[in-house]
Amino acid sequence: MKELQVAGFLDNSLVNGKGLRAVLFLSGCNHHCPGCHNVAMQGFDYGEKANIKDIVKRVESNMPLIKGITFSGGEPFEQAENLSELAYLLKKEGLNIWCYTGYTFEYIIEHLDKNNGWKELLDNIDILVDGRFEMDKYSHHLKYKGSSNQRIIDVKESVLLKHIILYEEV
Ligand code: SF4
C-alpha cells in the first residue's frame, strides 16, 4: 500500500472547511509564499511517512461524527499520485473532500495531463480552495481562506459548466 509524507493530522476540526471534518496536512511545498502560515511544512521530508490504509482506518474511527476530510499543507498536489488513491478510498466511504492548494484552478486544469495523479485527485475533490497566500490581501475576517485572492471553488459544478463556480454556502 502506498505512503504519504504527512506533516500533521487533526481528527476533527471546524475551521478547515464546512462542517466537522478530519484534516490531513501534506508535507512539501514549492510556492514559498511570503508570510506562509507554516514554513516548516514546506519541507518535503518534514513529518513522517504514513500508510494510506492506516490513514483510512484512522478517519473511519471518527465516522459518522465527521462528514468530510480536508487536505492541506504544504501543497497537496505535490503528492497527487498517492493522495489521489486516498481521496478515492475516502470518497467511497461517502466523505466530502476539501483541498487547499497554492496552484490556481486554471493552472491545475491546464496541467492535468502533465502531472501524475492530478486528474485523479481533482476527480475526487468536491471543494478546492485555490491560490497562493498573498500577505497584502490577508484578512482575519475571511472564512476558510487566508487572503482574498483565494477562491472557494465547487469543483464538480466548475468542471461540468466549464467555468469557475464559487461555493456559496460558506
Ligand atoms: S502554498 Fe501554503 S504551504 Fe505553500 S508556501 Fe504558500 S502558504 Fe505556505
The tens-digit pLDDT sequence of the chain (170 residues) is 799 999 999 999 999 999 999 999 999 999 999 999 889 999 999 999 999 999 999 999 999 999 999 999 999 999 999 999 999 999 999 999 999 999 999 999 999 999 999 999 999 999 999 999 999 999 999 999 999 999 999 999 999 999 999 998 65
Cα separation, 15 vs 109, in Å, equals 27
Q: Return the residue whose CA atom lies nearest to atom 6 of ligand 1.
A: 33
Q: Is the CB of 37 under 6 A from ligand 1?
A: yes
Give the burial class of 21: count Cβ atoms within 10 A of its Cβ; 0-12 exposed, 13-18 middle, 19 or more buried.
buried
Cα separation, 11 vs 13, in Å, equals 7
Q: Return the residue whose CA atom lies nearest to atom 3 of ligand 1.
A: 74
Q: Is the CB of 8 under 6 A from ligand 1?
A: no
Residues forming a β-bridge with 69: 22, 97
What pLDDT score was predicted for residue 169?
67
Cis peptide before 19, with omega less than 30 degrees from 0?
Answer: no
The DSSP symbol for 43 reads S
Q: Is the CB of 132 under 6 A from ligand 1?
A: yes
Q: Is the CB of 78 under 6 A from ligand 1?
A: no
Q: Return the residue whose CA atom lies nearest to atom 1 of ligand 1.
A: 102
> DSSP readout, 126-169?
SEEEES---GGGB-TT-SS-SBTT-EEEEHHHHHHHTS--B---
Query: Could you count the other beta carbons within 10 Å of the beta carbon of residue 34?
Result: 9
Q: Domains (ranges, CATH) in the chain?
A: 3-161 (3.20.20.70)
Q: Is the CB of 33 under 6 A from ligand 1?
A: yes
Cα separation, 30 vs 43, in Å, equals 9
Q: Of 162, 94, 104, 92, which is closest to residue 128 (Cα–Cα)?
A: 104
Contacting residues for 3 by C-beta, under 8 A, at least 6 apart: 49, 50, 51, 52, 82
Q: Is the CB of 73 under 6 A from ligand 1?
A: yes
Cα separation, 11 vs 24, in Å, equals 9
Give the burial class of 151: count Cβ atoms within 10 A of its Cβ; 0-12 exposed, 13-18 middle, 19 or more buried.
middle
